[in-house]
Structure 1
Amino acid sequence: MTKQWWQNAVIYQIYPKSFLDTNGDGIGDLPGIIKKLDYLKDLGVDALWLSPIYQSPQVDNGYDISDYRRIDPMFGTNADFQTLIDQAHRRGIKIIMDLVANHTSDQAAWFQASQKSRDNYFSDFYIWRDPKPDGSEPNNWGSNFGGSAWTYVPARQQYYLHYYAPGQPDLNWENPLVRQGIYDIMRYWKAHGVDGWRMDVITSISKDQNFPDNPNPHGLKYVVANQNDGPRMHEFIQEMHQEVLKPFQMMSVGESPDAKSQDARLLVDPSREELDMIFTFEHMHVDRQPGDVNGRWAVAPLDVVALKHILANWQNALRDHGWNALYFENHDRARTPSRWGDAKHFRYESTTAFATILHGLQGTPFIYQGEEIGMTNPDFELKDYEDIELKTNYQKLVQDNHSISAADFLKAARQISRDNARTPMQWNATSQAGFTTGRPWFTVNPDYLKVNVAADQQAAQSVSRYYKALIHLRHTQAILTDGSFDLLLPKDPHLFVYQRQLAGKTWLIAANLSTTDQDLALLKDWRQAKVILNNYSDFEVATTLRPYEAVILEKES
């Protein structure tokens, strides 16, 4: 079967606000991305996914869109974006936009009209419900950002639903006019040359129209709603596929926060004609305390066994039934060497070890800006963070519910906060890491003096050089795209080891995800194997892997 372009690709995510500022206002912009296209071409990536660049009040860093057809002036102009598309295409790089179709900004024209009355054209573009007889919210649903998922509007004497901030009202996908409005937006950008879509919380678009209360074992006032697998979700996505994705051959990768592998098969099996790939959050939960009322803020050490089980399960479940989207970092996820590795003592080794494990799997690898140089989490204080999710959860969990101490919340923030990924890109050791000549919108990580692109490219242990090698393997070795997958040592708490096989060739991919030496006895059978890649310069095939040592070996039968 002919491969789609994205099955042999490596995709690089850009958070434009933090990538490169060219006009000194402290905010990254489109001309900054254009300026770095040759850097991205040299890295070897095939496509760029841009986090939202549309007009937005920035309540949630652009995931609250007020005008889907206009580039926000902070990033530049529509003409700048057209230049970026054209220049990227000349270099063989595709452009993927971020589609936020579950909700808009409350400043969007649709919502501004909808909130005025119950009987205008846009009245049913959003989800409105009457209060209960006592005037309270329609149900006990809570927002992901804390508090109620409902906000009251006196002009309508009704509440509107928002799974996220009050400034992000959820669209009513039951209304066919809403769906056609979204499809028209997608067609608009396709006409400008956009190649595909990353779809924000796309599995949340269908809601149970009975709006039942959620089970509440902890006795909370508000309980975050089950935001996946609404009754018409698959129907809506299939319609989108027929209306836009299929006729215009646009790649799609959907964010599906609660999806397990069996859910993914329904979404990405080519025969169902829905999405090409989805992002799961399942493997992102392997460092949290299960069942804790504080959710992801109840952090725990990395569970390597759980990580192996989840990734292997997805590899096996989607084999011949769909395609994996592979990632450890993005704009919502902390830096891997700080979160799961050892950024202080083994930054290069832990960065490249996790990269080896990820890029060796079947699927399309996604690299987040700065990942390719081993950027780390900053050790900020609570006052230094910007993220609305962090601030609202601090209010809810620390100040209101007293379910976690301020010290423990800060510890969790330093490990998993979304802001860890949003510090400006570190280009060099000059002022503000070469990101801006002005005052950056968000504090630069103080480690930029040693962790930056210029320094990494000259280093003996270069993270970016290792990533280039991984990307080259993805482009040239069919065993990575087509080979079988077999997990070895599934219960080992430190070693992540698996095999890929294709056409008489076997690859062993192994990494020690710990700070101590680990015995790997099976390596004695690989002493004569060919070394494809390794992250220690003095590597020799032995029966011990050093801290965060990773290797890819090849044998032919």
Structure 2
Amino acid sequence: MNPFKNLLLAFVTISVLVLSSCASPEVENTEDTPVGNVEHPEWSKNANIYEVNIRQYSEEGTFNAFREDLPRLEEMGVEILWLMPIHPIGEENRKGPLGSYYSVQDYKRVNPNFGTEEDFQALVDEAHERDMKVIIDWVANHTAWDNPWTQNPEWYELNEEGNFMPPRGTDWTDVIQLDYSNNEMREAMHDALEYWVREFDIDGYRCDVAGMVPIDFWNEARDRLDTIKPVFMLAEDEGPVMHEEAFDMTYTWTYAHLIREIAAGNEDFSVLDSLMEVEETKFPENAYRMYFTTNHDENSWNGTDPGMYGDNFENFAVLSATIDGMPLIYNGQESNLDKQLEFFEKDEIEWKDYEYQPFYTMLLDLKKENEALWNGEFGGDLNIFESSENTFTYKREKGEDWVFVYLNNGSESVNVALDEYGITGNTSYEIYSDQLPEEDINTVEVAGNSWLLIANK
């Protein structure tokens, strides 16, 4: 049987493999669809998210150098800035010359290579002045070997010889596993989480391998953080239970892996149709899901945008920005990120001519203004018209707002009769496509390896 269809049959009860900087163990979920009790920050209902790799963003690799780019990102329509871990990186058992961002040496300091605490505060303050939010990456499952917390070995899981050990089932030799049965450690972690919200006014966290940390810890963390200010919480996990009390948004790993299989010609769009049906029943109505074509893990370990998507990169970017949930952009994608950034050493993004900035600006502006594309229960229903080997057609509607998308992954052009999808001469709409004029026409030709997007005016 087709491996993805096998996966979908089991998808309601089993969370799929979560990938971090290395693959993490599977997390099972045998419960019914949970009730989502998370109260999302008001500003998040039509937001997008942009991942920032400070080390690789610029030649300087600092907060101040990144801060200079805020006006451009504001113009592009970016709303949530997710900063990869900003903390000092462990030196003991470090991987590579600079180490992994996810090997945290001190939870209450900033990486001196990135700048000072004052530099970080200036970045947060200016982002807020530009109506952008800042969340930072948080690694709660493990620490570096030389984190000061190791002075309390009872805060960690120990092997049979009584020594520190990496998380089970991983090759993460540069980090050691924390023990969440220890209440003193839990309290220290809560204190550290609260510190950055209280002292620096950040807006929330992206939580690394969140499913490897007990859910009751995250539930309590959310309650405590919300007493300081309403926060936004993103879980690197695909478990529906994450949405019950703690997290606004989870990853769509299954979707991300599937679209690469479609791009490679190993699957067709009908499997995506099936996946979206399952997603609708699996997650609470108010759950935000994060859709993406790449991120730091996918880029560093699996390939570039051109390598993973070939001639259809734009098609999958349109899909990820419109099918459901919140779209993620990884820094550099707006400038045709065509290299895999090294993970453990300096490897600067090659900022070229920002080829895709107008493309992403269009998608993010449409996301903000058209309610059909809003997040979770605030967005519109998905109606899939066609899902075949090379074409995928769907419409999302909310009230008077709607968005129609036609993706053509084939090499031959396709004529699309708009009236078949309820788009007639009496409809006030706007066409978005590089190949088409912005005018009312009944039949449009969608070129090979191209996309058509139409939205109400």
What residue is the counterpart of 1:497 in the other structure? 393
User: Letter of the aligned partner of 1:488 in structure 2?
Assistant: F
Candidates 63, 77, 92, aligned match of 2:131: 92
Larger Rg: 1
Aligned runs of 1:95-110 on 2, under 5 Å? 95-110=134-149
Candidates 119, 123, 130, aligned match of 2:160: 130
Structure 1 residue 244: Cα displacement:
2.2
Q: 1:73 to 1:504 in 2, by over 3 A?
A: closer
What residue is the counterpart of 1:64 in the other structure? 103
What residue is the counterpart of 1:198 in the other structure? 206
Aligned runs of 1:155-194 on 2, under 5 Å? 156=162, 161-162=167-168, 163-190=170-197, 191-194=199-202
Structure 1 residue 339: Cα displacement:
3.9
Distance 1:168 1:284 in 2: 27
What residue is the counterpart of 1:547 in the other structure? 448
What residue is the counterpart of 1:119 in the other structure? none
What residue is the counterpart of 2:249 in the other structure? 277
Q: 1:369 to 1:485 in 2, by over 3 A?
A: same
Query: 1 or 2 for the larger relative contact order (CA 8 Å, sep ≥6)?
Result: 2
Distance 1:74 1:185 in 2: 21
User: Letter of the aligned partner of 2:49 in structure 1?
Assistant: I
TM-score (norm 1): 0.65
Distance 2:433 2:306 in 1: 18
Aligned runs of 1:390-429 on 2, under 5 Å? 423-427=347-351
Candidates 381, 397, 419, aligned match of 1:484: 381
Say whether residues 1:249 and 2:287 are aligned partners: no
Question: 8 Å contact 2:124–2:201 — kept in the other structure?
Answer: yes
Q: 1:31 to 1:2 in 2, by over 3 A?
A: closer
What residue is the counterpart of 2:56 in the other structure? 18
TM-score (norm 2): 0.78
What residue is the counterpart of 2:3 in the other structure? none
Q: 1:43 to 1:519 in 2, by over 3 A?
A: same
Say whether residues 1:240 and 2:221 are aligned partners: yes
Question: 8 Å contact 2:164–2:176 — kept in the other structure?
Answer: no
Aligned residues, how many? 397
Say whether residues 1:353 and 2:383 are aligned partners: no
Q: Secondary structure at the match of 1:8?
A: coil
Q: 1:5 to 1:87 in 2, by over 3 A?
A: same
User: Letter of the aligned partner of 1:331 in structure 2?
Assistant: H
Q: 1:518 to 1:423 in 2, by over 3 A?
A: farther
Q: 1:486 to 1:316 in 2, by over 3 A?
A: farther
Question: 8 Å contact 1:498–1:509 — kept in the other structure?
Answer: yes
User: Letter of the aligned partner of 1:338 in structure 2?
Assistant: P
User: Letter of the aligned partner of 1:76 in structure 2?
Assistant: G
Question: 8 Å contact 2:158–2:164 — kept in the other structure?
Answer: yes
User: Letter of the aligned partner of 1:75 in structure 2?
Assistant: F
Q: 1:5 to 1:75 in 2, by over 3 A?
A: same
User: Letter of the aligned partner of 2:50 in structure 1?
Assistant: Y
Deviations 1:388-432 (A, max 9, x none): 7xxxxxxxxxxxxxxxxxxxxxxxxxxxxxx9xx952223xxxxx
Distance 1:234 1:487 in 2: 34
Question: 8 Å contact 2:46–2:373 — kept in the other structure?
Answer: no
| Runs of at least 5 residues in structure 1 that lack an aligned partner in the other structure | 23-27, 114-121, 132-155, 206-232, 290-298, 379-384, 389-418, 428-451, 457-461
Aligned runs of 1:2-81 on 2, under 5 Å? 4-22=42-60, 28-57=61-90, 59=95, 60-81=99-120
Aligned runs of 1:496-535 on 2, under 5 Å? 496-518=392-414, 520=416, 524-525=420-421, 526=423, 528=425, 530-535=428-433
Deviations 1:291-314 (A, max 9, x none): xxxxxxxx9846543344334533
Q: 1:554 to 1:92 in 2, by over 3 A?
A: closer
Distance 1:365 1:246 in 2: 28
What residue is the counterpart of 1:140 in the other structure? none
User: Letter of the aligned partner of 2:298 in structure 1?
Assistant: R
Deviations 1:26-74 (A, max 9, x none): xx11111111111111111112110012100363521101011111111
What residue is the counterpart of 1:267 in the other structure? 242
User: Letter of the aligned partner of 2:221 in structure 1?
Assistant: M
User: Letter of the aligned partner of 1:234 in structure 2?
Assistant: I
Deviations 1:177-231 (A, max 9, x none): 12111111111111211111000001112xxxxxxxxxxxxxxxxxxxxxxxxxx
Q: 1:473 to 1:158 in 2, by over 3 A?
A: closer
Q: Secondary structure at the match of 2:177?
A: coil
Candidates 328, 334, 348, aligned match of 1:372: 334
Distance 1:166 1:315 in 2: 38
Structure 1 residue 472: Cα displacement:
1.0
Question: 8 Å contact 1:353–1:535 — kept in the other structure?
Answer: no
Structure 1 residue 78: Cα displacement:
1.3
Q: 1:158 to 1:199 in 2, by over 3 A?
A: closer
Question: 8 Å contact 1:126–1:160 — kept in the other structure?
Answer: no
Q: 1:167 to 1:549 in 2, by over 3 A?
A: same
Say whether residues 1:465 and 2:437 are aligned partners: no
Distance 2:405 2:284 in 1: 18
Q: 1:424 to 1:516 in 2, by over 3 A?
A: farther
Structure 1 residue 523: Cα displacement:
6.1
Distance 1:314 1:500 in 2: 16
Question: 8 Å contact 1:64–1:167 — kept in the other structure?
Answer: yes
User: Letter of the aligned partner of 1:31 in structure 2?
Assistant: N
Say whether residues 1:332 and 2:304 are aligned partners: no
Question: 8 Å contact 2:260–2:308 — kept in the other structure?
Answer: no
